[in-house]
Structure formats: structure tokens, C-alpha cells
Amino acid sequence: MSGELYEPETVWEFEMGDRVKFGVGASSELPSAIHEHGASSALFVTDQGVADAGIVDHLRGVLDDHDIETAVHAAVEPEPSVAVYDEAIRAAETFDAELVVGVGGGSSMDVAKTASALLGDDGSVLDYAAPPIGEGRSVPATGRPCLCIPTTSGTGSETSPVAVVSVAAENRKIGLSDRRLRPAMALVDPTLVTSLPPAPTAFSGMDALGHAIESYSAVRYDAKPRPSTPEERPDYNGRSLLTDQLARKAIELVGDNLRRAVDNGNDLDARRNMALASLLAGMAFTNAGTTAAHALAMATGAVVDIPHGVAVAIFLPEVMRYNAQSAPERFDEIVALLGADDTTATASEAVEELRHDVGVADGLGEFGVTEDRVGELADRTIGMDRLLSRNARRMTRDDAERILRRAL
């Protein structure tokens, strides 16, 4: 008899966008960032709300007297569909953009990253999705640079190699994942977030917390099989000492600042700290990975009209309860990092307290989800193999059903 013995992974990798500019006024350095990439034309990709708020006009004004031609594509929608992505790619081709600037929340930045990477390439965005939804093509190396300027604090898209696409024909949300989708630079300016209303401030902040907690409690890099070649190592390769440090600080920053940012959007110190929390959590989860709370949120969000950050906030405490036995010391530490008043509280209770304080819904029932949909949502969740494989505790369909019922 012969066979191959299990070989654990022994190497972790860490990646992020080429550079980050962070701080009050970082967006004013946009002309330098564009010229640094040798571009003389830039397409701004955003949504109509950000455009109406005057943020894009402000950024275009920053480019005055710098010999940079600009155009605006303000047609991104929440949970962007294949058509939204393809339309942005066509807009970049029509303008012949030498560089793309994504301005807004995660959807706008995801669309901008994809449009820049696929500019000039034939086919649809779905060609680059993994089978069976897409053809699994690799993103070409012929795209244009992308700069990302977030106007929310939560998604982490400004440093990630992923773009989330809603596929209506399949009633699914999928993630395109490729290292060439990472932006060339992120310009994180807290002043651009001060006008964000309390509700999306809360939603996006809870999403950042989900990124941080899930990357901090994900499967460790050396608790999984070694890939056959370095090229086969996944982008999300498990938590490491470095991702732990980023996640830990992000959790602490959210615990100290999200309530303040929701209560007073002009509290620039709180906004700065939430922007930093989002950035650090984004750097952590785009290397360690997210887990079951995001699997449940994506599965539910594909068929239920619910903001992604709200779905994460609803599922996160339930998944933490489920996972607590696998890493009790980590969940005990999360209580302290969140600064919970009750030091005897569990980590899931501390998250629920924060969720309540910032006014986020505490159950799926508020979005019309009833008991009769639990089976369907459990089936969809179990299909999220990529995310569930990183969860600290193995999850079955019955486990997913129990979590969904608790989340109603």
C-alpha cells in the first residue's frame, strides 16, 4: 500500500495594494498619485449619491491645473450586477482612460478595480468568475492602474483583491478574486466620510468589525494542507502573526470609536480611527480570510434585500457563539478589545451590545425573512465552500439552519 501523508502548510504570505496614503487631506495628493503612474487621463467610477454629494466634483477640482483630463461614470448601484460591471468597463474603454479612480463604498471601488483591470480585454466580467458560474479565466496583466478613495469606513475594498458581483440569473453573489484586482494605491481621507449618515456609518462599521473578528478567529495558516506549488496557495491563506496584529488593533478601534462616529459624524477623531480600523481590518481579512458570518451574509444577501453590513452584524454574534469552543482564549480577548462595560460578558454579547447601541437591526425578521426560508438559506450557505473552509469550527447544513433560526 502507498499513499501520501498529510503535509501541513509551513509558509504564510501577506499582500496588499502597492501603497496607502492615509490621513486628513490625503485625497489632495491625487494629482501626484495620478502622475506617478504616468497617466494624463482618469475616469472616476462612483455612484450617483456620492456624485450628488459633491465629492467627485471636489476631487476633479483638485486636479485643475495638473493637465489631467477627467470623466465621470456615476452609474454604480448597490450589490452591483454583471451589467453594472460591464457598463463601467465600456465607459472606461470609450473614454480611453489611462487610469481609473474608484470613489465611494465597496461597490464603487469593486467596479472601478474590475473596470481598470479588464479595460481592453474581450468578454464579460463573468468570464473571470470561477466555474460553474464563469469560465475561470485569469485577469490579464494588460489593464490600467486603479486608485481607490473610500467614502465609507468598512468594506476594506481599497486594498482587497476581490470584487463582489450579484448574478441575477443564479440568485447568487459571487466574488471575483485575483491579485491583479488589488488597487495600485489607496488614498484614505477621513474628511470624505464626515457627511456619511448615521445608518450607513453603523452598517459599514459593523462590516469592518466582522472582517477583523473573522480574520482573528479564522483557521491558522499552518492548520491546513500545504499546496502542491506556491502558485496554488490561495490569496486568503489563513491567519498569521501579522494578520492577528492588524485584526486586534482594528477590533479595539471599532470598539472605541464606532458609537462616537454614529452619534456625531463631524467627530473627526472618531472618523479617522474608524477609517484606520477599516483599512487594518481590510488588510487582515484579505490575507487571513473571512468565515461563516460572511458566508451566511452573502448567501442571504443574494435573495433578501438587506444591506451587507447589516447581514454581517446580525450573523456575527451567532457565528461567534458557534465558534467560541474552538478558540475560547481569542473570544475572551475580543471582549477586552471591545471595551465591554461588563467584563463577564461573552464576545458575542459584547458585539450584540455594540450593534444595539449603533441602531443596527438585530434579526432577519425585520427584512421579511421567515422560518420557511431557513432551509433555502442554509443550502446557499453550505455552498460557500471557500469561506466555510476557513471557519474555526466545521459547519454542517444543520448547524447553518440552527444559526439562521437564532438570527430570525
Contact 160, 280 (CB under 8 A): no
Mean pLDDT over the full length of the chain: 94
Model confidence pLDDT, tens digit, residues 136-183? 888 988 899 999 999 999 999 999 999 999 988 888 888 888 999 999
Strands lying side by side in the sheet with 69-76: 19-22, 185-188, 146-150, 100-104, 41-47, 69-76
From CA 351, how far away is CA 366, in angstroms rounded? 19
In 10 A of CB 406, how many CB atoms?
15
Model confidence pLDDT, tens digit, residues 31-90? 999 999 999 999 999 999 999 999 999 999 999 999 999 999 999 999 999 999 999 999
Q: Cell numbers for 312, please give them.
A: 454581517
**pLDDT for residue 5:** 87
Contact 253, 282 (CB under 8 A): no
- Intervals of the chain under pLDDT 70: 1-3, 343
Q: Cell numbers for 394, please give them.
A: 466545521
Contact 20, 186 (CB under 8 A): yes
Domain residue extents for the chain:
26-188, 198-406
From CA 167, how far away is CA 214, in angstroms rounded? 25
From CA 406, how far away is CA 408, in angstroms rounded? 6
- The CATH class that applies to domain 26-188 reads alpha beta
3-state secondary structure of 305: coil
- Relative orientation angle of helices 241-263 and 198-217, to the nearest 10 degrees: 160
Strand partners, 220: 239
From CA 141, how far away is CA 24, in angstroms rounded? 33
**pLDDT for residue 398:** 98
Q: Cell numbers for 46, please give them.
A: 462612483
Domain 198-406, CATH: 1.20.1090.10
31 upstream amide cis, omega within 30 of 0: no
